[in-house]
Amino acid sequence: MRIIENNIIKEKLYLEELENGLKVMIIPKKGTNKKMAIIGTKFGSIDNHFINPKTKEEVIIPDGVAHFLEHKMFEQSDGTNSLDTLTAMGVEANAYTTNDHTAYYFEAVDNFEPAFKELLNYVFNPYYTDQNVEKEKGIIDQEIGMYDDDAISKVFYNALECMYEKCPVRIDVAGTVESVDKINKDILYNCYNTFYNPSNMILSVCGDFEPDYIINLIKTNMKKIEKLDKIERIYPEEPEKIYNAYKEEKMDVSIPTFVIGIKDKVEKENIIKKELILNILLNYILDENSKLYKELYDEGLLISEPDLEYEYSDIYSHMMIFSYSKDPKKVFEKVKEEIRLLKDNGLEEKVFNRVKNKIYGRLITSYNSPAQVGRIFMRDYMNNIISFDYLNEWNNINIEDANKELKDRFIEDKMILSIVNPK
């Protein structure tokens, strides 16, 4: 096992790749009651066009397959449901699908070993029939309808549709009623056998145990699966410019909801430093202690602190500001004006250091929770990042770099506004 230690927080990561290609990350935390295990596959809503690594054939699948697979993984051939089985053990279990990965996890105080065995069992033993696939379509159609009526979901996807013309990140994770209707058990098995191969997966475990215990538990409870070649994904070429600058919808809401989006260049170099700086800049501009937020709040233009987010993958990169306002267009103009002023005058060192320390504090405290640690390490490793590297990079961030990123990334021509207004 490869051992990576971080002296800042006195934590260790044990990293091992098994013969079948499964990457295992173990982060021991002595003295903690809770234990967490999460297994993720690099298969999300954007992966709808690929080369089958076995047949070498080009495959195009309907939108929503990754999410459909997540729904079906708990059902077992003996008629049981693994989610019910885990709940009966007293553990908290669930799953989720994102743009670029799907994950299954549980948190436990007791019964870790039987829960862990159940996790490995259901993730590596799929069971799809014509009947259970058709039944699931009705459930997912209801979910799609629910999100269609949800203003937060609508305003986010409208923002993505504004920023991106061709990139599949603009597609709803669940797909559409029409695309879900095209899914069958053969498509599910084809995608499962491609993307749920251990060589495309990461298992992250955090809690009070010895690393050898976890490795032995995996090796004795995993069936033998042949390692596959790397999956070749096919994505459309996305223009650098935004697709639309503005989109508005009317829904049954009491106050307008909005997202300001900033489309960014996709870059793989220095991504850790870039991510940290962009999070600092977003908070500098509009966290609850910023000059602009206080001004907007005092004027009644913002009713709560905005959600600030930077997202990236191999094919997309963007920032989002989400909040509620009686006049989103005015907020948008104020944000653009603040960015112009900061570009002209530069960042104030005192404010920059305050925000930098706040983000650093969040990073440090995230290591207190085994659930957060397990999830963060798995997600970061999907992007070929060891989570400790964020802490190691921290001292390399300075105000000069932040001023440069501000000018390079916060470009008005790359900014969009998505609004959901009351009917």
In a domain, 369, yes or no: yes
pTM (2 decimals)?
0.94
Residues 289 and 350 placed together within one structural domain of the fold: yes
In a domain, 149, yes or no: yes
CA distance 122 to 73: 6
CATH number at residue 172: 3.30.830.10
Of 305, 124, 163, whose CA–CA distance to 242 is shortest? 163
pLDDT in tens, 370-387: 999 999 999 999 999 999
Mean pLDDT of the chain: 95
Residues 102, 64: contact at Cβ < 8 Å? no
In a domain, 241, yes or no: no
In a domain, 141, yes or no: yes
In a domain, 239, yes or no: no
What share of the chain in percent tops pLDDT 90? 94
Residue 161 pLDDT > 90: yes
Residue 268 pLDDT > 90: no
| Two tokens, residue 13 | 């990561």
pLDDT in tens, 333-362: 999 999 999 999 999 999 999 999 999 999
In a domain, 269, yes or no: yes
pLDDT confidence of residue 162: 98
pLDDT in tens, 213-240: 999 999 999 888 989 989 999 999 999 9
For residue 348, CA distances in Å to 40, 284, 354, 411 come to: 41, 10, 10, 20
Residues 323, 302: contact at Cβ < 8 Å? yes
Residues 295 and 191 placed together within one structural domain of the fold: no
308 burial type by CB count under 10 A (0-12 exposed, 13-18 middle, 19+ buried): buried
pLDDT in tens, 328-337: 999 999 999 9
Residues 127 and 197 placed together within one structural domain of the fold: yes
CA distance 11 to 8: 8
Residues 279 and 207 placed together within one structural domain of the fold: no
In a domain, 102, yes or no: yes
Average pLDDT value for residue range 123-146: 94
Kindly indicate the confidence band of residue 304, based on its pLDDT and cuts at 50, 70 and 90.
confident
pLDDT confidence of residue 239: 96
pLDDT confidence of residue 319: 98
In a domain, 189, yes or no: yes
Active site residues: 70
Residues 49 and 165 placed together within one structural domain of the fold: yes
Positive/negative CA dihedral, 261, 263, 269, 274? negative
Residues 293 and 391 placed together within one structural domain of the fold: yes
Residues 286 and 329 placed together within one structural domain of the fold: yes
Residues 128 and 263 placed together within one structural domain of the fold: no
Query: How many structural domains is the chain composed of?
Result: 2
Q: Which of 201, 233, 265 is the last residue of a domain?
A: 233
pLDDT confidence of residue 177: 95
Average pLDDT value for residue range 38-48: 97
Residues 172 and 27 placed together within one structural domain of the fold: yes
For residue 216, CA distances in Å to 164, 193, 213, 222, 227 come to: 45, 25, 5, 10, 19
Residue 288 pLDDT > 90: yes
pLDDT confidence of residue 223: 84
Supply the range of the domain harboring residue 227. 2-233
Largest pairwise CA distance in the chain: 67
For residue 284, CA distances in Å to 79, 152, 265, 414 come to: 53, 24, 21, 19
Residues 259 and 198 placed together within one structural domain of the fold: no
pLDDT in tens, 49-98: 999 999 999 999 999 999 999 999 999 999 999 999 999 999 999 999 99
What share of the chain in percent tops pLDDT 70? 100
pLDDT confidence of residue 269: 87
Residues 15 and 55 placed together within one structural domain of the fold: yes
Residues 222 and 286 placed together within one structural domain of the fold: no
Q: Which of 233, 268, 296 is the last residue of a domain?
A: 233
Average pLDDT value for residue range 196-200: 96
Residue 184 pLDDT > 90: yes
Q: Which of 233, 258, 288 is the last residue of a domain?
A: 233
